Each structure stands twice: as structure tokens, then as C-alpha cells.
């Protein structure tokens, strides 16, 4: 029965665990198969063509594992490859990205001026700016690439003097004056949401984790794919390249340490 099949979630690495965690909390009856493409991390500096290729291959892999839906738990991959994945796999599965839920949240809040921060690719793709412009033409939108933030968070620089200096440099920028909402368009940034909130009192800070989980719940429900049976199967967390550091860092993104399995889908031949 398709309702009991797993949900496939993928990211460039382990940042997407913030989304996986929110999905598991919101939908405890669902089984998750998570794939982090640590061989190619980070996606934020890669070309759109490369990310399209990675996303196609990973989606095929998750569908071959029997997944009933695919969540692109990465803003960069959502910005670069969502359309391609829909073109290829629309008939086989439902595909949820992290851009649509954030855009929807910004519009629901009736924001007059919205700021966006994310990786270079996400911001330069213009995907958020275009969608907001189409759906809310009167909304003022301003976006800044903040490439230092993801590696800073991975290194555990959260809520300390270093991250404060970096965040102030990015966020106390004249372009953000007068905004009423800031979209955290990178999976990692959910971890520094309280620190950003302290620097921007009165601004609504919206991240990808729970917004995406809620959006996925709606999509599964509309397609009669929500699992109503007790969950029997274990979740799987797979990476294309295993290192002990990746496994240790999962605790940061998932709230609990996660056991990572390795499956290097890029290796043509095992030596």
C-alpha cells in the first residue's frame, strides 16, 4: 500500500536534517529515508547543471528504494533543480521543495518588505525573488548571499562572538532597513534563528524546517498518501561519503546524534 512507503528526503549534506527532524516530529507515523550527498558538499558554490545532475540521480535512487514522495531539503538544490525533477518524475511521485513553503509563509504574513539570505546559488538564481514578485507584486524584496554562514554553523560557531560579528556584518546592511520578515533560505540557518532574532527585534524570522514539514503534510494528505498505520520501519540516514565528523555534526542539526550509513552512489566501481 503506497501510504506505508517511506518519504525520501535529500540534501547536499547534513543541514537537511533540520527538515527531516521537523518532518519526523510532525508526521511520526512516516518512515524517512534521508540522503546527504556529502561527496559533493557544498552545493552552494556549484553550477546549476551539476546540481541538476546530482538531484536527478539521487531522486532516482530514492524512488528505487520505494519512496512515495521526495522532499528536496536543500534551498540550493530546490532553486537549481526543482523544475527538472518535476519534468522527469511528476508522473511517478510528488516532489516538495523548500522554496514554495517559505514563499507561502511570507505571503500569509502580509509582509510589506521581505529580506532573503541564502547561499550564492540560491540568491543568484532569483527563484525566491521571482516567485514573490509574481504572487505579491507590491511586496518589496531584497536578497543577500551569505556564504560564510553555512560553514560557520557546521563548525559550531553558534551564539558566540564570532557568529555575532559575521551576522551583524551581513544583517545590519542598509538594504534590510525597514523589513518586516526575513526568510532563512538555507537549511542550516534554522540553528541560528534565535541569534538572528536578537539582532533583528521586531522582524519575523521564517525558516525552512517546520514550514516545509507542514507543507509536506498537506501535499501527502491531498494525494491520500499520509500513513495512518503505526510506524514499523526504521528511518535510514544515508550519506554518499562517510566521515566520523559528519556523524558527530548530525547532533547539531537533528538534536540527537544520528547513525549514518554510507552508500556512495557516485562510485562506478569498487576497488
Least distance (Å) from ligand DGL to the CB of residue 186?
4
Q: Is residue 67 within 8 Å of residue 173, measured between CB atoms?
A: no
DSSP strands (E only) in 119-271: 140-145, 181-185, 204-206, 236-239, 261-262
Compare residues 142 and 212 and give the one whose CB is closer to ligand DGL.
212
Least distance (Å) from ligand DGL to the CB of residue 250?
14
Please state, as a whole number, how many other Cβ atoms lie within 10 Å of the Cβ of residue 105. 21
Interface residues toward ligand DGL, by CB under 6 A: 11-13, 15-16, 41-44, 74-76, 118-119, 122, 150, 186-188
CA distances from 104 to 95, 136, 149 (A): 16, 10, 24
Compare residues 6 and 42 and give the one whose CB is closer to ligand DGL.
42
Compare residues 41 and 55 and give the one whose CB is closer to ligand DGL.
41
Calpha distance 252→239 (Å, rounded) = 16
Retrieve residue 44's grid coordinates. 552552494
Q: Is residue 252 within 8 Å of residue 141, measured between CB atoms?
A: no
Compare residues 187 and 250 and give the one whose CB is closer to ligand DGL.
187
Compare residues 105 and 225 and give the one whose CB is closer to ligand DGL.
105
Which residue among 9, 186, 206, 260 is the active-site one? Answer: 186
Least distance (Å) from ligand DGL to the CB of residue 13?
6
Q: Is 67 designated active site?
A: no
Calpha distance 270→233 (Å, rounded) = 29
Q: Is residue 244 within 8 Å of residue 38, measured between CB atoms?
A: no
Report the residue number whose CB is nearest to ligand DGL.
Answer: 44
Which is it for the CA torsion 54, 58, 59, 61, positive or negative? positive
Least distance (Å) from ligand DGL to the CB of residue 164?
21
Which residue among 62, 67, 73, 74 is the active-site one? Answer: 74
Q: Is 74 designated active site?
A: yes
In the three-class reduction of DSSP (H, G, I as helix; E, B as strand; rest coil), residue 86 is classed as helix
Helix (H) or strand (E) holding 3: none
Compare residues 28 and 151 and give the one whose CB is closer to ligand DGL.
151
* CB-based contacts of 134, cutoff 8 Å, min separation 6: none
Least distance (Å) from ligand DGL to the CB of residue 142?
19
Calpha distance 119→122 (Å, rounded) = 5
Least distance (Å) from ligand DGL to the CB of residue 233?
26
Calpha distance 241→93 (Å, rounded) = 27
Retrieve residue 84's grid coordinates. 527538472
Q: Which residues are known catalytic residues?
A: 74, 186
Amino acid at each position: 500500500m503506497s501510504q506505508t512507503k517511506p518519504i525520501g528526503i535529500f540534501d547536499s549534506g547534513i543541514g537537511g536534517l533540520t527538515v527531516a527532524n521537523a518532518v519526523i516530529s510532525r508526521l511520526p507515523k512516516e518512515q524517512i529515508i534521508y540522503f546527504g550527498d556529502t561527496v559533493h558538499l557544498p552545493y552552494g558554490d556549484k553550477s546549476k547543471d551539476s546540481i541538476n545532475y546530482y538531484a536527478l540521480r539521487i531522486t532516482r535512487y530514492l524512488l528505487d528504494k520505494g519512496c512515495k514522495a521526495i522532499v528536496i531539503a536543500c534551498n540550493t538544490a530546490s532553486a537549481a533543480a526543482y523544475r527538472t525533477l518535476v519534468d522527469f518524475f511528476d508522473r511517478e511521485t510528488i516532489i516538495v521543495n523548500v522554496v514554495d513553503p517559505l514563499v507561502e509563509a511570507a505571503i500569509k504574513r502580509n509582509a510589506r518588505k521581505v529580506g532573503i539570505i541564502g547561499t550564492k546559488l540560491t540568491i543568484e538564481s532569483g527563484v525566491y525573488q521571482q516567485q514573490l514578485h509574481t504572487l505579491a507584486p507590491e511586496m518589496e524584496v531584497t536578497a543577500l548571499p551569505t556564504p560564510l554562514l553555512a560553514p560557520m554553523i557546521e563548525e559550531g560557531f553558534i551564539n558566540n562572538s564570532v557568529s555575532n560579528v559575521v551576522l551583524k556584518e551581513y544583517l545590519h546592511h542598509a538594504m534590510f532597513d525597514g523589513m518586516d520578515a526575513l526568510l532563512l533560505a538555507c537549511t542550516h540557518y534554522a540553528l541560528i534563528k534565535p541569534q538572528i532574532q536578537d539582532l533583528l527585534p521586531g522582524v519575523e524570522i521564517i525558516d525552512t524546517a517546520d514550514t516545509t514539514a507542514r507543507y509536506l503534510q498537506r501535499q501527502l494528505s491531498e494525494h491520500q498518501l499520509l500513513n495512518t498505520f503505526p510506524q514499523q520501519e526504521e528511518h535510514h540516514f544515508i550519506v554518499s561519503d562517510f566521515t566520523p565528523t559528519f556523524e558527530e555534526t548530525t547532533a547539531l542539526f537533528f538534536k540527537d546524534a544520528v547513525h549514518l550509513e554510507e552508500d556512495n552512489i557516485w562510485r562506478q566501481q569498487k576497488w
